[in-house]
Amino acid sequence: MKTTEKELKKLITAKLHKAGLLEEHAEGVADVLVHADLRGVHSHGAMRVDYYAERIAKGGITTSPKFTFEKTGPSSAIFDGDNGVGHVAAKKAMDHAIKMAKESGVAVVGVRKIGHSGALSYYVQQAAKEGLIGLSVVQSDPMVVPFGGVEPYYGTNPIAFAAPGKEDDMIVFDMATTVQAWGKILHARSKNEPIPDTWAVDKNGEPTTDPFKVNALLPIAGPKGYGLMMMVDVLTGVLLGLPFGNKVSSMYHDLSEGRNLGQLHIVINPAYFTDLETFKENISKTMSDLNHIKPAPGFEQVFYPGQNTAIIEQRSKVEGIEIVDDVYRYLESDVVHYNKYDDKDPFAK
């Protein structure tokens, strides 16, 4: 069914507040989830609320966290999230990074001890809206087989990038280092739909189209994706003194405990490297150039990174956001959560 941006944010906020979050933090999470749903990235949208509510209700998220921010150098800092909701901590850490980059040209802010933070595109867009370049990476629990292996070691370890163009122009790039994010598997499960056999493998290491038989995901482009997820793990785990590799906590193991995840924001002020207006003009020119490249057979147009989701977002604002019926019914119900995620299996069904 379809709902409006305003209604969806209200429903999510109310549910998370009822689960135990401060209303301000519940609104912050809702902002990020609705951002994802508006852009058609439903794997990181409202379908996550039931899981968040269960973890909050069971004590696995600090509901009144003591956030701290400490500069460790002219362009570096650590933001400690005290295992609060990752969305709020990551947003506040990016606010600090933006301020630092405006003052010193570059900012690198490590975000320590947080929960799942949702769609990274939200945070890099914060930077781009301020005329800055944003890059954000985050670790996740082990559910990807390394190239040539059978046992999971790394997480989907996503990377996001955004750069501002003229006026409201913006290039946004947000990807998991797997063929598809785990949330896409969850979305397929919620709709009872098969997945392509290139996304994941079953317990025997064989490709599967059944989202309920997934035992591990596959890295994008084989060894290249494997290398990228290793890089993200180093920057968000090893660098920040947090668990790394297969030691990263599972999303579904013991929801009464904090996850201690790490995230890294890198913000660059183009004005410290070139003329800012020229930079923005050239980003817009890049976007236009890509749109005017002759499309290959079977394609109507070449899109610049993020353009397809931006188009979906504009349409959703007018036509409404498409939400799975079961998810909507849960949001408007009196149920806080369905007690279905506290499971030692990282591929919880």
Structure tokens belonging to residue 259 = 């996850």
> Does 41 fall in a domain?
yes
CATH of the domain at 174: 3.30.1370.60
> Does 208 fall in a domain?
yes
Give the model's pLDDT for residue 110.
Answer: 98
pTM of the model: 0.93
Question: Residue-wise pLDDT tens for the chain (349 aa)?
Answer: 899 999 999 999 999 999 999 999 999 999 999 999 999 999 899 999 999 999 999 999 999 999 999 999 999 999 999 999 999 999 999 999 999 999 999 999 999 999 999 999 999 999 999 999 999 999 999 999 999 888 899 999 999 999 999 999 999 999 999 998 777 887 888 889 999 999 999 888 889 999 999 989 999 999 999 999 999 999 999 999 999 999 999 888 889 999 999 999 999 999 999 999 999 999 999 999 999 999 999 999 999 999 999 999 999 999 999 999 999 999 999 999 998 888 756 665 5
Catalytic residue status for 187: no
- Range(s) of the domain holding residue 179: 2-275+309-332
Give the model's pLDDT for residue 218.
Answer: 94
Closest CA to 269 of 91, 103, 69, 77: 103
Give the list of residues 6+ apart from residue 118 with CB closer than 8 angstroms, or none. 29, 32, 33, 36, 44, 48, 86, 87
How many Å apart are CA 91 and CA 97, to the nearest integer?
10
Q: How many residues does the chain have?
A: 349
Spatial contact of 115 and 258, defined as CB atoms under 8 Å apart: yes
Closest CA to 147 of 200, 221, 201: 221
> Does 282 fall in a domain?
no
| DSSP state letters, 40-60 | T-GGGTGGGHHHHHHHHHTTS
Which of 25, 116, 265, 337 is catalytic? The answer is 116
> Does 321 fall in a domain?
yes
Give the list of residues 6+ apart from residue 245 with CB closer than 8 angstroms, or none. 142, 153, 154, 233, 237
> Does 195 fall in a domain?
yes
How many Å apart are CA 178 and CA 176, to the nearest integer?
5
Give the model's pLDDT for residue 184.
Answer: 82
| Placement of tokens 């090893």 in the chain | 238
> Does 228 fall in a domain?
yes
Give the list of residues 6+ apart from residue 322 with CB closer than 8 angstroms, or none. 1, 2, 42, 316
Angle at 163 between CA 274 and CA 220, to 5 degrees: 125
> Does 345 fall in a domain?
no
> Does 294 fall in a domain?
no
Number of domains in the chain: 1
Give the model's pLDDT for residue 344.
Answer: 55
* CA 216 remoteness from chain centre: 19
How many Å apart are CA 124 and CA 174, to the nearest integer?
9
